[in-house]
Chains A and B, each alone.
Chain A
C-alpha cells in the first residue's frame, strides 16, 4: 500500500511513555533506560540507533514483552501493554541469532505462530506458501534449519515473524551476522517487505549507515536516553548533540560565539574564530548565546585559494585519496583541525597539496549549533 503523501497526522502505532528500566538492585543496579519517551507512527520504518549498551535492545525487548519496565507505560494502538506477557502482544520479533526452531522444518517454523493462534490448517498452509514466496524461498520449505545458509536463515526468521501479520515487527540487529554484500541486499529487501506488508518496523542497529539507508525516522540513543529523533537527513545534517554528530558520519566541530540572542529563531548568526560570520541552524527549543559549538559536515565545505575568500583560513596538512572522494585535512589558523571532502570527478586533479594556504568556504545552511 502506498504511503499517503503529505499527511502530517499519522496514527501512532507504539508509544513509550517515561520508560525507565533498572536491572539488578542495590549497588549493582544498572539503569538501562532512563525516562525514555518515543512515539512510533503507523507503517513507519523506525530505527533505534546507538552503540552497544545504549539501551536500544532493552527498549525493543520491553516492547516485545521479554522484559517489563520498572516505570512507565508502553502503548500499542493506545492501550497499555506493558504488563502483558509476550504471547499476548500482537508484536513479533526477528532475533539477532534468528532463533529458528531446530526441530522444525523451514515451513513448520513459519507456521508456528499461526498454529499457536489456532488458525485453520488450510489458512496456515496458504499463508506459509505466501510467506515463502515473499522471502523467495518457495523451494526450501521442507529443508531443516541446519540445511540452509545464514542469509536464508535470516529470511526464514523474517517470514516466521511476518506470518502472523503482527501490528509491529521488531528487528534486533538482524543483519549483523551477514557479510557486507548480503547485508546490502537485505537492506533493500527489508525496505521492500515493509512497503509490501504495510507493517510498522522497529529496527535496532549500531550501524549508522544501515540506519540512514533504511529508516523513515531514527532515534539516536546513548546511555539509556534518546538524544535525537528525526529523519535520516535531519539526523545527519542537523544533529542537535555532540554525541549524535560524532556517532553518525564524520564531522568538524568549530567553536563559535553568538552575540545577540534571537529567541526562538530557527537560525542564528554565529561569529567564527577569525571574525567571519555565518548563519547556523539551531536545535528545537534552544536559545543559544555566548560560546557554542557548531558542526559542519566535511562534504558541506569546499576549499578555495586564500584570495578567493571563505569563512575560515588555514593550511592543508594532508591529502588522502579514497577512491570516490579526496579528504583534505586542514589545520585552521586557530590550531583546530578541519576536514573537507570533495568528490572525485573525471579529469579533475586534487587542486591543493599539503602545505598550501587555503580558505574554507562553508556552504549556506550547512552549519548547525549543538545543544551541549
Chain B
C-alpha cells in the first residue's frame, strides 16, 4: 500500500508532466515561428556574405557586425565611423522620439475628451478612432502623400488662404515622415491613454482643485501621474513600430531620407549583404530592448501600487 504521502507526490509529479505535455504544441510553434528565426538571423550575422546575396554557410566572419557602425577605406584601409549608417540610426531614433512626443501631445487631449463624454457616446468616439485601421497602411500613406505634396491639399489650402506664396516642400523630407508616422500611429496612443483615463476617478480632480491646484497643476500633479501607465503603454506601442518603420519613410521620405527599416531592406535586396542586414536588425532589437528596459524601470519606480 502506498502511503498518502507517496500518492500525493505522484499526483503532483503527474500534474507537472501533464501541464508540459498540454502546452507543448503551443511552445513548439512559438519556438519555431518566433524565436527560431531570430537565431537564424543571429547566425547569419556572423557569416560571410554570398556573392549574389545569401551567406556562405560555415564561413565565420565579423564583417557584417563591423560594417554596422564602421567602414574601411578601400584605398588605405583606415577605419572610420560609417557616417551614412550613423545618420540613419540617428534619424530613426530622433524621428521615433519626436513621433512619440507628438502623439502624446495630440493623443492626451483627444483621450481626455473621449473619457469625459457621457458613457454611451464614448463608444462611438472610440470606434471613430479605430476607423483608419480598416484601410491598408500603404494606401493610407499614399493618401498622406496626396495631402502634403506640393500640389496637395495642404499646400493648395495655404496658398488659397494667402498664408504662403510658394508651396512648402514637405515631401521627401524628415517632416513628411513625421507627418505620416504621427497620423498612422496616433490611434495606438489614443487607445491606451483612453483606457487609463476612463478609469480615472474625477473626484480626485475635484480634490486637486479644492487643494488650490490650478488647471495646469491638476493636470501635472493629479491627472498625469494617474494616467501614466496609459502614457507608457502608448509610448511603447508608438515608439517601437516607428523605429522599424519601412513603408512610411519609403513612400514619404523618398530615397534619401532612409530609416532603419529601409536600410535593412536594402541589405537584403540591392545591397546583397545579408550578414550586415542581420546585424543591423539585431542592433535595432537591442535599441528597442534598452528603450523598453528604461520605460519599465521608470514605471516600476514611480507607479508602484497602482500600475
- Measured between alpha carbons, how far is A112 from B212 in the docked complex, in Å? 9
A99 at the interface (CB under 8 A from B): yes
Interface residues of B in 153-212 (CB under 8 A from A): 201, 203-204, 206-212
Contact B212 A113 (CB under 8 A): yes
B210 partner residues in chain A, CB cutoff 8 A? 64-66, 86-87, 91-93, 161
Q: What separation, in Å, do the CA atoms of A210 and B284 have in the docked complex?
A: 66
Residues of B within 8 A of A102 (CB): 204, 226, 305-306
Best-buried of B211, B214, B305, B306 by chain A (most CB within 10 Å): B211
Nearest chain B CB to A166 CB, angstrom units: 9
When C-beta atoms are compared, the residue in chain A nearest to B209 turns out to be A86
A77 within 8 A of B: no
Of the residues A85, A101, A144, contact of B207 by C-beta under 8 Å: A101
A342 to chain B, nearest CB (A): 47
CA distance A103 to B212 in the complex (A): 18
A102-B306, A103-B306 known; A113 vs B226 contact (CB < 8 Å): no
Report which residue of A86, A92, A161 has the largest number of chain B beta carbons within 10 angstroms of its beta carbon.
A86
For A97, the closest partner residue in chain B by CB is B203
Total chain B interface residues with beta-carbon distance under 8 A: 22
Pairwise interchain contact B225-A87, C-beta atoms closer than 8 A: no
| Chain A residue nearest to B217 in the complex (CB) | A116
Question: Which residues of chain B from 31 to 59 have any CB-CB distance to chain A below 8 Å in the complex?
Answer: none
Residues of A within 8 A of B (CB-CB), count: 25
Q: Is residue B237 within 8 Å, beta carbon to beta carbon, of the partner chain?
A: no
Q: Which 4 A-B pairs have the closest CB atoms?
A: A113-B211, A116-B212, A99-B207, A86-B209
Q: Tell me the minimal C-beta distance from A188 to chain B in angstroms.
A: 26
Check A7 for interface membership: any CB of B closer than 8 A: no
List residues of B whose CB falls within 8 A of some A CB. Answer: 201, 203-204, 206-214, 217, 221-222, 225-226, 302-306
Give me the interface of A with B, judged by CB distance under 8 Å. Answer: 64-66, 85-87, 91-93, 95, 97, 99-103, 112-113, 116-117, 144, 146, 160-161, 164
Closest to B302 in A: A103
Which residue of chain A has its CB nearest to the CB of B225?
A103
Please, which residues of chain B bring their CB within 8 A of the CB of A116? 211-214, 217, 221
**A-chain residues with CB within 8 Å of residue B212 when the two chains form the complex:** 87, 113, 116-117, 164
Is A99 within 8 A of B209, CB to CB?
Answer: no
Q: Are A95 and B203 in contact (CB under 8 A)?
A: yes
Asked whether A95 and B213 contact (CB < 8 A) given A102-B305, A102-B306, the answer is no
The reply to whether B207 and A95 contact each other, CB–CB distance below 8 Å, is: yes
Tell me which residues across on chain B come within 8 A of A85, comparing CB atoms.
209
**Bound-complex Cα distance A364 to B212 (A):** 53
| Pairwise interchain contact A66-B206, C-beta atoms closer than 8 A | yes
Give chain B nearest CB distance to A311 CB in angstroms: 53
For B222, list chain A residues within 8 Å (CB). Answer: 101
A-B contact pairs, 17 of them (CB 8 A): A65-B210, A66-B206, A92-B210, A95-B206, A97-B203, A102-B306, A103-B226, A103-B302, A103-B305, A112-B208, A112-B211, A112-B213, A112-B221, A113-B212, A146-B305, A164-B211, A164-B212
Determine how close the nearest CB of chain B comes to the CB of A135; give it in whole angstroms.
16
Question: Are the C-beta atoms of A66 and B209 separated by less than 8 Å?
Answer: yes
Within 8 Å CB of B211, what residues of A?
87, 92, 112-113, 116, 160-161, 164
What distance in Å separates the Cβ of B241 from its nearest Cβ neighbour in chain A?
29
Smallest CB–CB gap between A115 and chain B, Å?
8
> In the complex the two chains form, is A99's CB within 8 Å of B305's CB?
no
Give A144 to B304 CA distance when docked, in angstroms: 10
